[in-house]
Amino acid sequence: MVGMDYPASKAGLLCLTKSLAKNCAAYGITVNSIAPGLINTEMTTTFGYDPETIPLKRVGTPEEVADTAVFLASDMSRYITGACIDVNGGMSMW
């Protein structure tokens, strides 16, 4: 099926996150992932996407994704494992 490779790869990453989290938990290791939405980068400037279609009405910044990674790497997230955090301005809400 044409176009199924991208969503299939994302589903694979979600399953990998959960599997690694389960296998590493006994060692006190947490595993999480980040799913960024439309982020303002050189690549996305060519997309022609309308920010008004995003619930927060703007494109995200690389710093917002980095802030999420810093949070997950910090002790503040010590009881979070197997999670995928969406950083997408609400695009995945339904």
- Separation between Cα atoms, residue 11 and residue 47, nearest integer Å: 23
Name the E strands within the chain. 33-36, 84-87
Catalytic residue among 6, 27, 49, 79: 6
- Separation between Cα atoms, residue 68 and residue 47, nearest integer Å: 24
Condensed to tens digits (0 to 9), the pLDDT of residues 13-63 reads 999 999 999 999 999 999 999 999 999 998 888 888 888 999 999 999 999
- Separation between Cα atoms, residue 35 and residue 84, nearest integer Å: 7
The verdict on whether 6 is a catalytic residue reads yes
Q: Is the pLDDT of residue 6 over 90?
A: no
Which candidate, 93, 71, 89, places its Cα nearest to that of 80? 71
- Separation between Cα atoms, residue 94 and residue 86, nearest integer Å: 13
Q: Domain coordinates of the chain in residue numbers?
A: 5-87
| Architecture label for domain 5-87 | 3-Layer(aba) Sandwich (3.40)
Quick one: pLDDT band at residue 93, thresholds 50, 70, 90? confident
Q: Is the pLDDT of residue 1 over 80?
A: no
The answer to whether the Cα torsion of 73, 7, 93, 15 is positive or negative is negative
